[in-house]
Amino acid sequence: MTVREINFDGLIGPSHNYAGLSLGNLASSRNAGAVSHPKAAALQGIEKMRSNIRLGLSQGIFLPQWRPDGAWLSALGTDVGNAEAHIRAAAMSASSMWAANAATVSPAADTADGLTHLTVANLVTMPHRSHEWPQTLAQLRLAFSDRSAFAVHGPVPAPFGDEGAANHMRLCDSHGEAGVEIFVYGQSGGPFPARQHVEASKAVARLHRLDPGRTLFVMQSEEAIAAGAFHNDVVAVANERVLFTHEQAFADKDRFYADLRVLLPSVEIVEVPASAISLADAIRSYIFNAQLVTLPDGGMALVLPTEARDIPGVWAWLEAMVAGNGPIRQIIPVDVRQSMANGGGPACLRLRVVADPANIDPRFLVDEARLDNIAGIIDAYWPEAIAPDDLADTRLIARIEQSWLTLVDHLQLSGDLIP
């Protein structure tokens, strides 16, 4: 069995738009009402995946969801033609592209039954995301259908908000060894809601049959949430033995660090001081909403958005970090500006799964040739631009639906995923 980390990226869907639906997500609010570019967005995502494959990383995909979500609208007693504008926008949301919110994943090395467990996130805090989980769960149950290797769980029940891997970290000596699982939750965020409830995190840990002695529940700082860190992955990211974090990410960092060092003595904590990079600049640049990955030669690289170069102090600190003798040896900027404008960086776009690729449905795994074919469909079918008022246009809706059908048919998933 060859266990490795596989990054499953969400393909950015043809209904990608800037409706400003995500309270507490500063980029989403700042760009509300702007014209989006779904084709460019999706192709940027493809290029990020292609770049990671060239680094020697394993890559998977999740498909966009069917939009508009007619079943959700029907449950609200309406349809896309008659819905109020904000409800229509929520039904058209392409936010499932942020696969870090698809589920929480615990590798087999951490679980009592030796299975890799995945629990789909309920995303109940935000209306436009609350209806994602049924279609996400359908894809998870297809991709990870091998019951000798995986256990896929339905969502934690409301009202306990669960936003998936964006509030979960795992530290270990190597991906295939037993690790320490860290669930980060919020209690207060000033003017913004705390989206991850501690009861949801505890429920996921129980469902995944984790060892309580190697599981930590850590509170996110109120300052981080109030500054716009609506998920922990906006201010911290972990990979194997390395935790890369902002000084103000956690409510009680000293206790967290001490507990972590007891459980994983080899841990290396790379903390960015607030005196060097403020919370505001960290969130504007999304340096922590990055993919911290182990390369085939054993070194680590930080795959981060090109926006990190736009703030001189941030870029200078990163360059000094990699020039030192720390564990992160490369910084690799990628262009995901369309996703960033809606508040999602490289880490938001992917869900990490440690598993044997042989146990995964191959339709959800990609190489460069498959990405070329998908990019061709995107180039031919995805809309060039969407303004908020366009969401009521029946011609646009028809094009979005046809785009989705063409992609799903190409990937030979139409028999399994047609809503």
Helices of type H across 68-193: 70-75, 85-92, 127-130, 133-143
Cis peptide before 155 (omega within 30 of 0): no
In the set 37, 128, 132, 348, the catalytic residue is 348
- Is 172 in the active site? no
268 is catalytic: no
Query: In whole angstroms, what is the distance from residue 138 CA to residue 131 CA?
Result: 13
Angle at 122 between CA 181 and CA 129, to 5 degrees: 120
Q: Where are the beta strands (DSSP E) in 262-327?
A: 268-272, 291-294, 300-305
Q: CB neighbours of 162 closer than 8 A, spacing ≥ 6?
A: 104, 119, 121, 122, 123, 124, 155, 156, 196, 197, 200, 201, 203, 204
Q: Could you give the residue ranges of the DSSP H alpha helices within 189-311?
A: 198-207, 222-227, 253-263, 279-285
**Residue 231 among the catalytic residues:** yes
**Catalytic residue among 163, 181, 240, 307, which?**
163
Single out the catalytic residue among 16, 117, 231, 246: 231
Three-state secondary-structure class, residue 181? strand
Using the 8-state DSSP alphabet, how is residue 114 labeled? S
Catalytic residue list: 163, 231, 348
